[in-house]
Amino acid sequence: MKKGKAVKKMDEIFELIAKRMDGMSKTHKKLANYILENKSNVSFLNISNLAKLSGTSEASIVRFCTYLGYKGYPDFKKELQASVEQRLSIRERLAISANVYENKESFVADIFRDDINNINTTLENLDMNTFFSVCEQILKAKRICIIAGRSAVALGSFLEYYLNLILGNVCLISFVESQADGLSFFGPETLVIGITFSRYTKATLEAMAYAHEQGCVCVAITDSFKSPVVPYSQYAFFTETNMWSLLDTYVAPLTLINAILAYISKLKKDNINERLKTFEKSWKYFNIFDE
């Protein structure tokens, strides 16, 4: 499991800015004052928007972040976001998006660029030893259970569908009350994959805690080492889901899931061919596809 760098608390970051202001240039003080006066919103602005709103320049912002001890603006912004995002309701995120995606002409391109950045960041931080170890655990597991709630069910359903095509021993629990019976078979031969992102679904956390107690091999697909599902997991993947609007973006976690499925299908190629022959017969009989 790749732990990564610890994230400062939001108040600690602002305290750092305040303490360092005496040694700042006039431009940096102007930027510092803007940040301190707009604590909730500033962490969601890209560098060009921050420069425009604060009356400074992108180069000044980069130098400001370096002065505070950060590698650059992305490093500074990421720490702010990690502590802020858990405090925001959907309504508050939607209000912030008006500032983040304010330019109509670039709106669609900004969304695409954010998802591209999320995929790149997820790949850069991916622990390949964890990736291959999880794939090995999936292949040798007697049973696989995927736990996901609310919008993360979309990711869980996708993963369940294709793992069942490949292996045939997978179930999804999305916490319709009757599905809780599926937890009864949890044990050392069961691999459990929990998918949850900020503001983490309570039912997913409780089920992962139960799976951990029962000795299951637990895998988390989440967004931060600070995620409350991590303590219950032997393996954890951290994917970027930042998009400051009504919704989270699941492009990066879906790309991770695609990579897992592609690697497993490569290793189980012969088995998949035989299973697909059986499936094709039923698909043809029930006229599933428009051919």
Average pLDDT rounded to a whole number, residues 204-226? 92
Q: What is the DSSP string of the chain?
A: ----PPPPPHHHHHHHHHHHGGG--HHHHHHHHHHHH-HHHHTT--HHHHHHHHT--HHHHHHHHHHTT-SSHHHHHHHHHHHHGGG--HHHHHHHHHHHT--TTTHHHHHHHHHHHHHHHHHHT--HHHHHHHHHHHHH-SEEEEEE-GGGHHHHHHHHHHHHHHTS-EEEE---GGGGGGGGG-STTEEEEEE--SS--HHHHHHHHHHHHTT-EEEEEES-TT-TTGGG-SEEEE------SSS---HHHHHHHHHHHHHHHHHTHHHHHHHHHHHHHHHHHTT-S--
> Torsions phi, psi of 239, nearest 5?
-120, 150
**126-285: which CATH number, 3.20.20.100, 3.40.50.10490, 3.40.640.10, 3.40.50.12780?**
3.40.50.10490
Peptide bond preceding 199: is omega within 30 degrees of 0, i.e. cis?
A: yes
- Which tokens is 250 given? 């699941």
More confident residue, 60 or 42: 60
3-state secondary structure of 173: strand
Q: d(Cα 259, Cα 264) in Å, to the nearest integer?
A: 9
Q: pTM for the full model?
A: 0.67
Class of domain 10-123: mainly alpha
- Which tokens is 17 given? 């800015």
Whether residue 181 is predicted with pLDDT greater than 80 in this model: the reply is no
Other CB atoms within a 10 A radius of the CB of residue 112 amount to: 10
More confident residue, 214 or 94: 214
Question: What are residue 170's DSSP bridge partners?
Answer: 144
| Ranges of CATH 1.10.10.10 domains, the chain | 10-123
Whether residue 86 is predicted with pLDDT greater than 70 in this model: the reply is no
pLDDT, position 177: 54
pLDDT, position 137: 96
| Ranges of CATH 3.40.50.10490 domains, the chain | 126-285
Whether residue 126 is predicted with pLDDT greater than 70 in this model: the reply is yes
Q: d(Cα 253, Cα 119) in Å, to the nearest integer?
A: 8
Other CB atoms within a 10 A radius of the CB of residue 160 amount to: 21
Whether residue 234 is predicted with pLDDT greater than 80 in this model: the reply is yes
Burial 251-287 (b: 16+ CB within 10 A, else e): bbbbbbbeebbebbbeebeeebeebeeeeeeeeeeee
Q: d(Cα 277, Cα 271) in Å, to the nearest integer?
A: 10
More confident residue, 211 or 226: 211
Other CB atoms within a 10 A radius of the CB of residue 2 amount to: 14
- Which tokens is 79 given? 């720490």
pLDDT, position 29: 93
CA 189 to chain CA mean position, Å: 27
